Chain A
Amino acid sequence: MTTPTRPLASEEIYGEKWNRCVSDTIVKTASGLALGIVFSAVLFRRRPWPVFLGTGIGLGMGYGNCQNEFRSPYVPGQVSKLATLRGHLSPKPSNN
């Protein structure tokens, strides 16, 4: 495992990205679902379509987020949010 001070290696970023992506998607879907349920329950008289809508919205948002994240240009030594959360501060000076 990486030590907290070491910046992320590039291959690990990929993994990190995937982690974030999936987790984010799950969260969004769940929240969409929940909201859908809530909305359907509250506003739309328990019709099923807000649930699906919400779920879809959540999924879609998650998917889009994922996609965007993967599309973002790769900067060597890029500090991901999670890395900053872990305490990796200064990016390594590039040796390339």
Chain B
Amino acid sequence: MLRAAHLPRAQPAALNFLLVSKRWQQTPASPGSGTTASTKSTPGSHTTQYATNNPASAFKTQTAASRPSFNAPIDRTSNSYKTTTSPTSTYVPPSSQRTNPSSGNKSGGGAGTLVKAIVYGVALGVTGTLAYAEYENDSFRRQLESTIPYSATILGGIDQVIDPVLGRQKSITKGITDKVPDLAYVKEKLPGKDQVKKLGEQVKDATNHVVEKFPDKNALKKVGEQAKDAVNKVTGTLTDQSKAKGLVHQTTDQVKDAVNTVREALPDTKGLKKNLDHVKEQIQDAAHTVKETVKEAVPALPKGRSGDSSGKLTDPVFIEEAGEVAVPPPIPQDKYKKLEEELSQLFAPLSTQIDEALSAAREHISHMKTLIDNPHISTSDHETWKKAEHLQEQAKTSYEKATDKLREWKDKLIEYSTATNGQIHPEEKKLDEKYQELHKQYTTSTFVKNFRTYIDEATKSFQKEIETMFPSLAGKNPTQLTHEDLQALLVHAHRRVVKLQNDMARMRINESDSIKAGVESARSEIDRLVEERVQTRVAKTTEQLTEELKSYEKNLRQQFDEQLKYEIVLQHQALTQYLADVLSRQYQEWAREYEKQLENESMKINLNLQNQLRSTLDRLHAIEQAIEANYDSQQRGRQAQQLWIQAQNILNQIVHGTTTENDLDVISKIVPNEKFVHILLNELKADDSPVTNEEMLRERFAHVNKLCRRVALIDDEHNSLWNYFLSYLQSLLIVRQRDDIILTDDAIDLNRLSTFTILNYVQSYLDHNQWYNALRLMQLLSGEPRNVAQSWIADTRNYLAKKQTSELLEAYSNSIGLGTLPRTA
């Protein structure tokens, strides 16, 4: 940190000192002082940020002007320090600072954390429920699915992920409920036999009602009484002679009226028939309604496809929906249409004809009525009678035509009704009504036709009667009648009236009886018919319904069977697949195991064989090697001998003379393969130091010795010639000790060496041929003597190295030789 090398050039010393002191203060050992330093340097910068730019910059500004070269290092260091210390220093204040803004944030963050907590809680709850539902897969899941709308989809999605993982499958049997689909409700909706019977009874009641509406005895009685009154009136006004005939006529008229009224009041068979038809219609309607209800009850299921969901029928068993209900096959449309067309075609002309006939009949009747009403009718009025006859003829013909046509129509209608199975043509009713009326009118017309004859007969009979009873009166005029005649006539009339009364009473009785009988028979007939019809209709409908039910049931059963088969097939498939999987897996496992075992065994055998092979090979190799080694050793022995000889040669040469290249080459020829020898030889060859031998070195040492003595006082420095002179003088004065005590103690005191002592020692070493010691000691020389002896030292060293090398060579050869000596046990 302290760039001592780069001292500022022009520094106020005080500032420098300040800097240094500051630097020292800012060592990390004293953060407190660091704070003080920082506070010193940065007054009022505590409230600033964490970053130390401000203090550094403040520092910079202080020192910028005077210290450009220092700025960068200072700032860096100070920055680093500031950053390290100011955190510690500003930890206390800005920590409080930080808590302030953080506490400020906390209130805002409190709400945020609350929201977060809520969100987490909700998410946790949802995931928990989903996971539990998924895991449980039973009642809780079903509950969840039923209550929460989209949970089923979510769970289904999760199922798709989890089921393969866990290996769950939606059990098919669980989906099917044990309940057989409830067909009872279908049956309930069917109108039972009771209902149909009820309808029949209703019809019966209606007929009874109708029948009851028939005029009963009271009405007849009334009519009879009317007649009686008329007769009484007649008797009351017996005195009136002038009006006697008129009265008679009136009475006859009245009687006729009474008869007519009676006849009218008679049970009108046509009306009866009409009522019967009406009843029949009612029955038909009832049956129709029954069928309709049946149809409605059995739901009209469309023919379903296997993929569609059963929407209409909440029937969990079936995937497919039942087929169509066995509705009675519809009328083949063409025939129906044709018939209908024909009927409608026939209808129009028929209706017109009927109308015609009707009108004709009506006319006739009206005419006759006028005739009847007219009291002054006389048989001599031929025109009117002819007209009446003509009219009657017309009416008859038209009536016959109408009936023919109607018969045709009826046939067609029957056909139609059989084809449509009882459906009624809409115009049938109208036609029937018309026909009824026509018939009625026609009968009255036929009845009325005979009016004339009746009148004629009546008058004739009356005339005859009068003539027989009162022949005397017959010829007289009405004005000539005497009182007795009149009385006789009156008596006769009275007697006649009584007779008529009796007749009427008898007739009444007869009529009532016949009426009763007729009514009874009609009733019974109606009853029978109704019953029959009802029975047939009921039977038919019940048959139909049972058929339908059976077919429906069959259908359902069939579908159920199919479904069951399908499911069984699926399960079978699944089972077989599962079995196959398990088997294959087992097979694989076992196969793997056995293979492993096989491998192990084979490996073991292999290894055994290999081991044996190796051992035999090793033995073989060892034998070979032994033989070779033997040979080698012999050879090496020979080589060693030669080497030794040569080495000795070299050594001698080194010591006493010079080595020549030939010698070295000879050695390389002897042992071409030895690396060690090669290295040594290379060393010897490379050694191009001047060839010396021992004697030369000794001589040189004597010279060196002398010189060293002469320059003993000269050091490395402060050499002047005067010193040289002095050292020479000294050398002349110092006398060498010739004791051998020098070498008695081997330990040389190294602290008390001087040039002379060293030289003495070395001389003695050389005398005793201890070259290494001599060399070592010589190296302890210092100063000018060292310089003088330098080359001698180097040469001695080289010589000794060479010698060593050659000795090594010799030793090596010895070692080889020793190695090849036969081993003695």
Given A74-B787, A95-B689; A10-B721 close (CB under 8 Å): no
Tell me the smallest distance from the CB of B684 to a CB of chain A, in Å. 15
CB pair A67–B719 under 8 Å, yes or no, is yes
In whole angstroms, what is the CA distance A96 to B793 when docked? 8
CB pair A70–B719 under 8 Å, yes or no, is yes
Q: In the complex, which residues of chain A have a beta carbon less than 8 angstroms from the beta carbon of B298? A: none
Chain A residues numbered 35-91 whose CB sits less than 8 Å from any CB in chain B = 63, 66-67, 70-71, 73-74, 76-77
The reply to whether the CB of A9 lies closer than 8 angstroms to some CB of chain B is yes
A11 touches which of B690, B703, B719 (Cβ 8 Å): B703
CB pair B794–A96 under 8 Å, yes or no, is yes
B789 touches which of A10, A63, A73 (Cβ 8 Å): A10
Tell me the smallest distance from the CB of B793 to a CB of chain A, in Å. 8
CB pair A9–B792 under 8 Å, yes or no, is yes
Tell me the smallest distance from the CB of A10 to a CB of chain B, in Å. 4
The dominant DSSP class at the B interface is helix
**In the complex, per-residue mask of B681-725: 1 if CB is within 8 Å of any chain A CB, else 0:** 000000001100000000010011001000100101001110010
**In the complex, per-residue mask of B768-803: 1 if CB is within 8 Å of any chain A CB, else 0:** 000000000000000010011111111101100000
CB pair A11–B794 under 8 Å, yes or no, is no
For B716, the closest partner residue in chain A by CB is A73
Given A76-B794, A96-B794; A10-B787 close (CB under 8 Å): yes
Q: Which of A9, A63, A76 has the most CB of B within 10 A?
A: A9
Given A11-B700, A14-B707; A95-B797 close (CB under 8 Å): yes
For A2, the closest partner residue in chain B by CB is B690
Q: Which of A13, A14, A94 has the most CB of B within 10 A?
A: A14
Q: In the complex, which residues of chain A have a beta carbon less than 8 angstroms from the beta carbon of B724? A: 70
A9 touches which of B721, B795, B797 (Cβ 8 Å): B795
In whole angstroms, what is the CA distance A22 to B793 when docked? 28
CB pair A63–B791 under 8 Å, yes or no, is no
In whole angstroms, what is the CA distance A95 to B714 when docked? 25
CB pair B787–A9 under 8 Å, yes or no, is no
In whole angstroms, what is the CA distance A78 to B719 when docked? 19
B700 touches which of A8, A9, A13, A63 (Cβ 8 Å): A9
Given A66-B721, A95-B798; A9-B791 close (CB under 8 Å): yes
CB pair A10–B790 under 8 Å, yes or no, is yes
Tell me the smallest distance from the CB of B815 to a CB of chain A, in Å. 28
Tell me the smallest distance from the CB of A46 to a CB of chain B, in Å. 33
Tell me the smallest distance from the CB of A36 to a CB of chain B, in Å. 23
In whole angstroms, what is the CA distance A13 to B707 when docked? 11
Tell me the smallest distance from the CB of B663 to a CB of chain A, in Å. 22
Q: Which of A66, A67, A94 has the most CB of B within 10 A?
A: A67
Tell me the smallest distance from the CB of A76 to a CB of chain B, in Å. 5
CB pair A76–B791 under 8 Å, yes or no, is yes
Please classify how large the interface on chain A is, using the bins under 10, 10 to 19, 20 to 34, 35 or more.
20 to 34
In whole angstroms, what is the CA distance A71 to B724 when docked? 11
CB pair B721–A14 under 8 Å, yes or no, is no
Q: In the complex, which residues of chain A have a beta carbon less than 8 angstroms from the beta carbon of B797? A: 95-96
In whole angstroms, what is the CA distance A10 to B790 when docked? 6
Q: Which of A11, A66, A76 has the most CB of B within 10 A?
A: A11
For B708, the closest partner residue in chain A by CB is A11
In whole angstroms, what is the CA distance A95 to B688 when docked? 11
CB pair A67–B720 under 8 Å, yes or no, is yes
In whole angstroms, what is the CA distance A95 to B798 when docked? 8
Chain B residues numbered 708-748 whose CB sits less than 8 Å from any CB in chain A = 711, 714, 716, 719-721, 724
Tell me the smallest distance from the CB of A27 to a CB of chain B, in Å. 17
Q: In the complex, which residues of chain A have a beta carbon less than 8 angstroms from the beta carbon of B789? A: 10-11
Q: In the complex, which residues of chain B have a beta carbon less than 8 angstroms from the beta carbon of A96? A: 790, 793-794, 797
Q: In the complex, which residues of chain B have a beta carbon less than 8 angstroms from the beta carbon of A67? A: 719-721
Given A10-B790, A76-B794; A71-B703 close (CB under 8 Å): no
CB pair A10–B788 under 8 Å, yes or no, is yes
For B795, the closest partner residue in chain A by CB is A9
In whole angstroms, what is the CA distance A8 to B790 when docked? 11
For A94, the closest partner residue in chain B by CB is B794
Tell me the smallest distance from the CB of A32 to a CB of chain B, in Å. 18
Tell me the smallest distance from the CB of A25 to a CB of chain B, in Å. 10
In whole angstroms, what is the CA distance A66 to B724 when docked? 11
For A5, the closest partner residue in chain B by CB is B690
For A73, the closest partner residue in chain B by CB is B716
Tell me the smallest distance from the CB of A56 to a CB of chain B, in Å. 16
CB pair B721–A70 under 8 Å, yes or no, is yes
Q: In the complex, which residues of chain B have a beta carbon less than 8 angstroms from the beta carbon of A8? A: 791
For B714, the closest partner residue in chain A by CB is A70
Tell me the smallest distance from the CB of B724 to a CB of chain A, in Å. 7
CB pair B792–A10 under 8 Å, yes or no, is yes
B794 touches which of A12, A70, A95 (Cβ 8 Å): A95
Q: In the complex, which residues of chain B have a beta carbon less than 8 angstroms from the beta carbon of A77? A: 791
Q: Show 14 residue pairs from A and B whose CB-CB distance is below 8 angstroms, ordered by the A residue.
A: A9-B700, A10-B790, A10-B792, A11-B700, A11-B704, A11-B788, A13-B788, A14-B711, A14-B788, A63-B721, A74-B784, A76-B787, A76-B791, A96-B793
Measuring CB to CB, which residues of chain A are less than 8 angstroms from any residue of chain B? 6, 8-15, 63, 66-67, 70-71, 73-74, 76-77, 94-96
* Given contact pairs A10-B788, A67-B720, a sample of 13 additional A-B residue pairs in the complex whose CB atoms are under 8 Å apart: A8-B791, A11-B700, A11-B791, A14-B788, A67-B721, A70-B714, A71-B719, A74-B784, A74-B790, A76-B787, A95-B794, A95-B798, A96-B797
Question: 6 closest A-B pairs (Cβ-Cβ)?
Answer: A74-B787, A10-B791, A9-B791, A10-B790, A71-B719, A76-B790
